[in-house]
Structure 1
Amino acid sequence: MSHFSTVKTELRQLAPLRGALEDLGYTPGEIQQAVRGYQGQTVDAELAVAVEGSADFGFSWNESSGAYEFVTDLDLWRQPIPVERFLSKLTQRYALRSVLEASRQEGFDVAQQTDCQDGSIELVVTRWDA
């Protein structure tokens, strides 16, 4: 019996997902790894993070939704924040990285980035047209 749980996300691109995990202090492994769970059970994931003393977690591509699904053994989750809060922070960092990359591709530079007290991130981007 599998103890793995999956959570749908709106995370669609691997590069900003990997970067968001790194921003939060995690070291994602190579692509196509196994996520370890209860009693050595594993599930394949496109991106996995091995966590000492806690459940591994990863992200599996869901073809029908066109997005990655978060996968972990929730019974073994021992992170300092609940899974829901982790996914919220991860999604915010993913969005920030996506916006910054899209802005850069359109020729914008970041003039200011402010982490607000309410947890939001405020960006000011500029572009000089010649």
Structure 2
Amino acid sequence: MSHFTHMKTRFQNLFYLEKALNRLNIVHKQQKTSITNSTSKSSNINLLIPQSNGYDIEFSWNGQEYELVVDMSFWEQSYPIESFIDKIAQQYAGEVIIGESQKIGFQPIKYQQNMDGSNTLILERWNTEKFFDQVN
């Protein structure tokens, strides 16, 4: 008998979630779902992480965030679910910082995974306006 667990996350952006999974070499695929009610029809994109036993791990959009949906009795990953989510959350945070910083002109110059499990991220942005003001 299956008992699915729905775990809330803070993953709200599909693009950054996929980048985090890619950085961790976690194979996944998109699954488009349609929801129809009496007044409207909408579609969402969920992410599936295949497992060899056929009980896939899913990041399912609930309208606010991607929650993790999994049958705990069929968990096949090499580390516990808490560690799994922590690893993804750490990478997700790094991807959000890089992506949102680039929107305001910063560029990543170093992204390093440290031996203690932490990440080091260094960004830079040049102030070209001041330079051009001084030249003219």
Deviations 1:58-81 (A, max 9, x none): 111122xx1111001110002110
Alignment of 1:52-63 (within 5 A): 52-53=52-53, 55-63=55-63
Alignment match, 2:48: 48
Larger Rg: 2
The residue that corresponds to 1:111 in the other structure is 109
| Aligned residue in 2 for 1:4 | 4
Give 1:54 deviation, angstroms.
Answer: 6.7
Specify every segment of 5 or more residues in structure 2 that has no aligned partner in the other structure, as ranges: 34-43, 129-136
Q: CA offsets, 1:72-105, max 9 Å, x none? A: 1110002110010000000011111111111111
Partner of residue 71, structure 2: 73
Distance, in Å, in 2 between the alignment partners of 1:83 and 1:24 is: 15
Runs of 4+ in 1 over 6 A off after TM superposition: none
User: Under a length normalisation based on structure 1, what TM-score does the superposition of the two structures give?
Assistant: 0.81
Match of 1:83 in 2: 81
1:94 and 2:68 matched: no
The reply on whether 1:14 has 2:27 as its aligned counterpart is no
Structure 1 position 121 matched with structure 2 position 114? no
2:82 and 2:116 map into 1 onto residues whose CA distance is 17
Mapped to 1, the partners of 2:109 and 2:24 lie a distance apart of 23
**TM-score calculated relative to the size of structure 2:** 0.77
Structure 1 runs not aligned, ≥5 long: 34-43
Output the aligned Cα RMSD.
2.0
